[in-house]
């Protein structure tokens, strides 16, 4: 069965998040409550296609069998590099590839990649065709437009006429970054457009969805699946089918697990790991003092010591 057709309506995805959804954090989420589908962080196709960058790209494509189903996300501007990278992903055992056409980061946009592709729709189409040549199910993750919400119809038409196997729409423009509320009001029209132009494309909605229950209303509108990004920062158990309260001990156990995985995969340097501590050290008495202590640590070993001293 084609990769995207195996999921029941209402399926859930953990959003690709650069610097967040690496192999360690994906396992943390899998332990807490797994989504139906994981995505890797995005990887530049230029890296895979250069001698210098290939090693790093391969590191970023490292996954475990237990993470399946997982989709590799790639970005760039050179169609032939997309073909070659998607071919490599197939050989690595990936079952699907996703093209990033939504990243608003100025360095990415300056290269013409990510949401920069919204301004070069012909190139965006060429990239979809080039990626498909590798024979992997090919999806696109994008935004409503570059600077104006009204761009959504032309832009999504451009994508849908290439019949991607799945399409994730983050309901904001590039210009809006994540600063305004997601444009939920457009979902019914997006569903209609998708059904007219490419009914076989699986449609995923993203933006400010914190739990699968929040996403239910979109499924009732004809959307196939939902994607959660920052919701996992507020609640690492957000993919739970039956949500419940979690104790301080459960959160600390999850953090210890993350520390162990960080060491296991030799994910250096240490400081970026501290960004995650707020996820675990939150919402219990003494959490802010404990976080302050953890911010002063210089290694996973020191962080473990701080946790060990807790009453």
Ligand X SMILES: Cc1cc2nc3c(=O)[nH]c(=O)nc-3n(C[C@H](O)[C@H](O)[C@H](O)COP(=O)(O)O)c2cc1C
**Where do contacts with ligand X occur on this chain (CB under 6 A)?**
15-20, 41-42, 73, 100, 102-103, 141, 170, 178, 206-209, 228-231
CB-nearer residue toward ligand X: 3 or 276: 276
Is 103 a known active-site residue? yes
CB-nearer residue toward ligand X: 187 or 290: 187
C-alpha to C-alpha distance for 39 and 229, rounded to whole angstroms: 11
Minimum CB separation from ligand X for residue 93, in Å?
A: 21
Minimum CB separation from ligand X for residue 220, in Å?
A: 19
Which residue has the CB atom at the shortest distance from ligand X? Answer: 229
C-alpha to C-alpha distance for 289 and 284, rounded to whole angstroms: 11
Minimum CB separation from ligand X for residue 271, in Å?
A: 15
Minimum CB separation from ligand X for residue 240, in Å?
A: 16
CB-nearer residue toward ligand X: 178 or 283: 178
Query: Max CA-CA distance within the chain?
Result: 60
CB-nearer residue toward ligand X: 238 or 294: 238
Catalytic residue among 45, 103, 144, 303: 103
Residues classed as catalytic: 103
């Amino acid at each position: 069965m084609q990769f995207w057709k195996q999921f029941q309506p209402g399926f859930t995805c953990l959003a690709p998040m650069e610097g967040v959804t690496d192999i360690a954090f994906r396992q943390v989420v899998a332990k807490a409550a797994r989504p139906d589908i994981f995505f890797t962080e995005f990887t530049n196709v230029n890296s895979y296609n250069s001698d210098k960058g290939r090693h790093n790209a391969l590191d970023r494509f490292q996954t475990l069998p237990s993470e399946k189903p997982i989709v590799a996300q790639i970005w760039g501007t050179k169609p032939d590099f997309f073909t070659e990278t998607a071919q490599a992903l197939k050989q690595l055992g990936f079952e699907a590839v996703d093209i990033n056409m939504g990243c608003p980061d100025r360095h990415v946009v300056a290269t013409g990649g990510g949401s920069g592709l919204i301004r070069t729709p012909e190139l965006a189409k060429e990239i979809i065709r080039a990626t498909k040549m590798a024979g992997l199910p090919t999806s696109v993750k994008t935004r409503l437009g570059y600077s104006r919400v009204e761009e959504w119809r032309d832009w999504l038409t451009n994508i849908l006429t290439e019949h991607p196997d799945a399409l994730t729409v983050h309901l904001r423009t590039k210009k809006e970054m994540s600063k305004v509320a997601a444009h939920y009001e457009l979902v019914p029209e997006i569903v209609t457009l998708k059904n007219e132009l490419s009914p076989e494309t699986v449609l995923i909605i993203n933006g400010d969805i914190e739990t699968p229950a929040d996403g239910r209303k979109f499924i009732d509108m004809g959307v196939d699946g939902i994607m959660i990004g920052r919701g996992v920062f507020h609640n690492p158990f957000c993919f739970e089918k039956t949500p419940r309260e979690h104790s301080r001990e459960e959160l600390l156990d999850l953090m210890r697990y993350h520390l162990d995985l960080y060491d296991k995969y030799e994910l250096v340097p240490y400081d970026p790991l501290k960004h995650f501590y707020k996820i675990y050290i939150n919402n219990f008495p003494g959490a802010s003092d404990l976080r302050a202590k953890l911010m002063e640590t210089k290694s996973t070993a020191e962080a473990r010591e701080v946790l060990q001293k807790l009453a």
